[in-house]
Amino acid sequence: MSYSNITQLVTAQANQTPAAWAVQTPTGYGLTFADLEQQSSQAAAYLQHLGVQPASVVGICLRRTPQLIVWMLAILKAGATYLPLDPAYPTARLQFMLADAKALLVVSETSCQAALPLNTIEWVLIDQPWSRELAWREPFYHSAIPAYIIYTSGSTGQPKGVLISHANALTFLAWAETTFSVAERAGILAATSINFDLSIFEIFLPLISGGTLVLVENLLDPALFHSQHPICLINSVPSAVQTLLQHTALPSSVLTVNLAGEPLSLRLAQQLYQQPNIQRVFNLYGPTEATTYATYQLVERTASRPPAIGQPLTGTTCVILDAHYHPVAAKDVGELFIAGLGVAQGYLQRPDLTAERFLPNPWATTPGERMYKTGDLAHWNAANELCYLGRNDQQVKIRGFRIELGEIEAQILRLAPLQAVVVQPITLVADDPQLTAYLVANQPIDCEALRASLAHHVPSYMLPSFWVQLAELPLTPNGKLDRAALPCPDAPIKQPLQSSTEQRLAIIWREILGVEQLGRESNFLQLGGHSLNVMQVLKRIEQTWQLQLSITRLFEQPTLAAWARLIDQQQQAFAQAEPQFYQRTTQLHQLSFGQQRLWFAEQLHPNTAYNVIHAWRIDALLDAVALEQSWLRLIERHEMLRSSIQLIAGIPQQTIMLKPVWQLQSAPQASLEYLLRLLDRPFDLAQAPLLRVGLAQHHDHAIMLVVIHHSIIDAWSLGVLWAELSQLYASFFENQPIQLPSQAYDYLDFVAWQRQQLDSACLAQLQTYWQTQLAQLDPLPALATDYPRSTHMQGLGISQTYQLDQQVIQALQGLANANNASLFMLLLAGWASVLYQRTQRSDLLIGTLSAGREHAAFERCVGFFINILPLRLHCAAEQTWLDLLQQTRMVALQAYQHQALPFEQIVANVAHERNNQPQIPLIQSLLVLQNAPSQPLVLGAPAQALATPIQASKTDLVLLVQPAATGYQLTLEYASELFVAESIAALASDFQAVLGQMAQHPTSTLSAVQLAGHWTAEHYSNKLPTLQPMAAPPQTALEQTLADMWQEVLGLSIDNIHADFFRMGGHSLNATQVVSRMQQLLQVTTSIRMLFDYPTIAQLSQHLLANQAQAERINKIATALQQIKTMSASTKQALQQKAAGRISQP
């Protein structure tokens, strides 16, 4: 079958392999071929609805997400031509391109709007609502219609658009499909901007041949290191690949590297072949006007001379002509001309330039065929291979970018009153040319201001690094410009570094640029900085400051001081606002989001899971009065130790008691076990204080047991308590003045501040990050369980503790330091590899805890600040542990950067992804490295911590790694209603074995992991309950009353009694409100647990009426409520007045 449009091949492939991955990001989010086909057809139909027709030009300005690919295909499916618009380009350049191409409309998104001149053209914002219900009509395709327009640098001062037809692209892709194997096409990296023609190979080759396109920001994107999908082929420029090698960042899965855009050195080819995985290295050549590539050469592993550019592609012809357009003799140098099926149609709106560069082909066998005049010098070598020798004009290529020096010169002349300007590449560092602008003017020129202005008109790669003002240009004796006599630019005078930001930034510059002497005015570009190594600097800035800076801004202001100012400004913009003192004008106060989560969990499972227990042995007799006074002073000092949680009108709120009744509980000669039985019992959260302390005095020592509810305390707070308790006890015992630091803020100030932060502009950014991070999450629990999960579980739990091998921990710490990572990140990689082996699931979600004290003002506060962070990881058999470490490092750093969003809101944002199965936790396992500041407890003598068992579990499984007297120990807390002890012991053995293997062989792949535990658990919990009864509206008065309650709380119309409350968007606070209304209106005693057990109106109604004693009363109340609802307003008012009158009578 013959094809006339690229998308026809993509559709054919989608029909063959609908379930295969078409597009993936390194995080594992992507689209199958079926998804891509469906979504692109929907988008194409919408474009047709807006008037897009064959040969219409449609601009596309999107971020590099899978939706970029969807809409590129949609434009082509509508028969139109896509015009790539890079959001990083200056607005003026984008405006010229849109006007020059006569674009009908632009496809963009909200985050890219700022760069576009959208007031002059119609646009589609894909993140705003648009109709997906329209039917796509396949238009008449003709292979001569341009598929895309790519603008290249132009010598007249404006870029010129190259028209590439579907016929051109189909010819090129047919060659590529026959040249590269199925294994090579299985994972092709798409790292090139769609504004450059290398993107055609990267995007369309995998889509037409059943491979997977792995989409990243650029070749130096850190996400590249931990791609879930193996990357088999990389297509880039030599300088970028050289950077990957320098930083050992070439993925181990890569089989083939294509290099184009600038001369390939033999040394780089040899370095690539030294990588154990590399099988083929290609040197490719071709201008945009010849559809990406015109010639190619497989560089032999044993090559001993610089690579040639090889032989023409299938369907392409290359000839070398002299100045009179005559073929040159063999081995002689001439200008290279390209003919054949890949030659473009010409330049858009430029018939003069098209005629100049696209000449009639005198050797053509097809009438009207033209050949492209490249301006490149070449010759045929003895092996009949083409060799590239340079340019015969002012066009240069720097780091793969094709640049017309005349365009830069023309733009500069438009921006400043100059007599002359010359832009010339100079090489101060080997193999690293830098653009330099030489200016002649009658007055001093502010070069920095001129450079900033130029940045609004040309892309960053066309900005000169150096600016030199001359009295006159050097000339040869015959009056021509003497380029060889242009002076080298002087280095600027070094001003000493000032701020700490400048000092830290200078360290990064020194490492990446290799320059020792730096000052405030040191210029990144003048020191050899460019578009490739700026990505390395940006990566380091992100790691150091957890900030993402704009490349455009950095190139506009390239000095070290300017960069430091940008970092400081962005830090201030994202810095949390200074807390305001919360006015405690009422007795009721909001809970923090974390407290809400714990309160709700306590209502669902009233047990001791959230009792924080610490037992101490003190080898001295304690003064019980001094100890009680010390605790009373702590309770008085920290308002959370006086707080309780009340349910008011369906909303949990906290109250702070001024002087709660509390006393130390003494049990002379009692054992720790007795104290635990006495004190470790569920708290009534409505009764303050949520703190119990027991003291057992023995003849030579004392035991103190502290039990505090987690809703008022966390590990960090305990360190504050132990330090203050030690001071207070010493003061009371010795009858000395109390000297504790004053408290600037307390926990209620934090609660108000937290809510204020989440009302600010940063909320949308946080929500977007977590929605993207957790998109298309598998709702099934990863880890098998010994017992089936039940909605009637009581939250029972047990723990097991193991001592970790200290030599292994030390080796892992050294490995982490060598890879700029933390011990936690290595432990996370180890646990992920255990889960990957045990579950055979590559997409894993593991939780951890963050301290939640993002503002220094709250460091001395006592309360519950902890937030849960979901860390999504992707494992693959061919990954090494170092690969996985790089992934865990990046995922953890990004999570910490976005930790301000409470876990409750993270869960709410992804609830629809999980189909709202409330009995299945979002996070099945938590990994925690206990590193909160520890404080010794001294009560007359140093206190020694005693181990205490747990009786309840917070989630399925918690792995707690914490320092101990003999090193680190591992504690596994687990739900005993899901796992037997043998299974947990097996996981502990697995984890310890993996840590040892990581320490010894960090370059081993995950396929080589040897697990040690004996695993017996079965996948009881691997099936979600299916609820698919027929929809039915409320029939009885009780069903309608319950529907009214749900409608009020959820804000939805309830017309199906089989609809699940949680699937409809209900969450913990909504459930609390519904239960409160049931208790108030129906006068029934119920609990939140009931709504979880009976989550539909049909189930809940049946359960309420099952009790014969209350069924008649409930039905009467429900009937009355429905009758009142149907009354007129006047009747309701009369009844209210009558009721009021009865109440007022004696």
- Pairing between β-strand 346-347 and β-strand 334-340 as defined by DSSP bridges: unpaired
Backbone angles phi, psi at 150, to 5 degrees: -115, 125
> What is the CATH T-level fold of the domain 6-236, as seen in this structure?
Rossmann fold (3.40.50)
The pLDDT assigned to 1112 comes to: 85
> What is the rounded distance in angstroms from the CA atom of residue 875 to the CA atom of residue 228?
6
The residue ranges of every structural domain in the chain are 6-236, 312-391, 395-485, 500-574, 593-747, 787-932+950-1008, 1037-1140
Cα 411 vs. chain centroid, distance in angstroms? 38
Give me 490's structure tokens.
Answer: 């002087």
User: Sign of dihedral through CA atoms 437, 440, 442, 444?
Assistant: positive
The pLDDT assigned to 1022 comes to: 41
Domain 593-747 has CATH 3.30.559.10: yes
The pLDDT assigned to 372 comes to: 96
Q: For residue 792, give the H/E element and its range.
A: none
* DSSP code of residue 135: P
SS3 state of residue 22: strand
The pLDDT assigned to 907 comes to: 80
> What is the rounded distance in angstroms from the CA atom of residue 688 to the CA atom of residue 454?
67
Domain 395-485 has CATH 3.40.50.150: no
The pLDDT assigned to 485 comes to: 80
Are both 593-747 and 787-932+950-1008 of the same fold? yes
Give me 610's structure tokens.
Answer: 């959230």
Complete edge-to-edge strand list for the sheet that includes strand 146-152 = 122-125, 105-108, 57-60, 81-84, 146-152, 160-165, 346-347
Q: For 102, left (φ over 0), alpha (ψ -120 to 50), or beta? A: left
> What is the rounded distance in angstroms from the CA atom of residue 80 to the CA atom of residue 75?
5
Terminal-to-terminal C-alpha distance of the chain:
96
Q: Are 300 and 269 in contact (CB under 8 A)?
A: no
Give me 530's structure tokens.
Answer: 């460019």
Q: 846: which strand partners?
A: 871
Helices (H), 774-822: 806-818
Estimate the share of the chain in helix, then strand, then coil, as percent rounded to the nearest 5. 40, 20, 40
* DSSP code of residue 54: T
Q: For residue 878, give the H/E element and its range.
A: none
Q: Hey, what amino acid is at 1082? A: L
Domain formed by 312-391, architecture: Roll (2.30)
Residues 6+ apart with CB under 8 A from 708: 611, 612, 690, 691, 692
SS3 state of residue 452: helix
> What is the rounded distance in angstroms from the CA atom of residue 575 to the CA atom of residue 893?
17
CA distances from 521 to 25, 429, 448, 506 (A): 39, 20, 11, 11
CA distances from 781 to 204, 718, 925 (A): 36, 33, 10
Residues 6+ apart with CB under 8 A from 410: 156, 157, 158
Domain 787-932+950-1008 has CATH 3.30.559.30: yes
- Identify the CA nearest to 366 among candidates 158, 167, 625: 167
SS3 state of residue 882: helix
DSSP states along 202-235:
HHHHHHHHT-EEEE-SSTT-GGGGG-SSPP-EEE
Give me 484's structure tokens.
Answer: 């060889």
* DSSP code of residue 489: P
DSSP states along 757-780:
HTTSTHHHHHHHHHHHHTTT---S
Residues 6+ apart with CB under 8 A from 808: 992, 995, 996, 999
Q: For residue 604, give the H/E element and its range.
A: helix 593-604
The pLDDT assigned to 1145 comes to: 39
Q: Hey, what amino acid is at 290? A: A
The pLDDT assigned to 850 comes to: 85
Q: Are 895 and 869 in contact (CB under 8 A)?
A: yes
Backbone angles phi, psi at 4, to 5 degrees: -115, -5
Q: Are 573 and 556 in contact (CB under 8 A)?
A: no
The pLDDT assigned to 428 comes to: 67
Give me 583's structure tokens.
Answer: 């006015």
> What is the rounded distance in angstroms from the CA atom of residue 376 to the CA atom of residue 145?
28
The pLDDT assigned to 548 comes to: 67
Cβ-based burial of 249 (10 A; exposed 0-12, middle 13-18, buried ≥19): middle
The pLDDT assigned to 725 comes to: 95
Segments of the chain with pLDDT less than 50: 912-918, 1019-1028, 1142-1146
Give me 756's structure tokens.
Answer: 């204020």
Q: Are 890 and 226 in contact (CB under 8 A)?
A: yes
Residues 6+ apart with CB under 8 A from 358: 289, 343, 344, 346, 370, 371, 372, 373
Give me 1122's structure tokens.
Answer: 């429905």
> What is the rounded distance in angstroms from the CA atom of residue 584 to the CA atom of residue 605?
31
What is the domain class of 1037-1140 according to CATH? mainly alpha
The pLDDT assigned to 116 comes to: 76
Domain 500-574 has CATH 1.10.1200.10: yes
- Whole-model pTM: value is 0.52
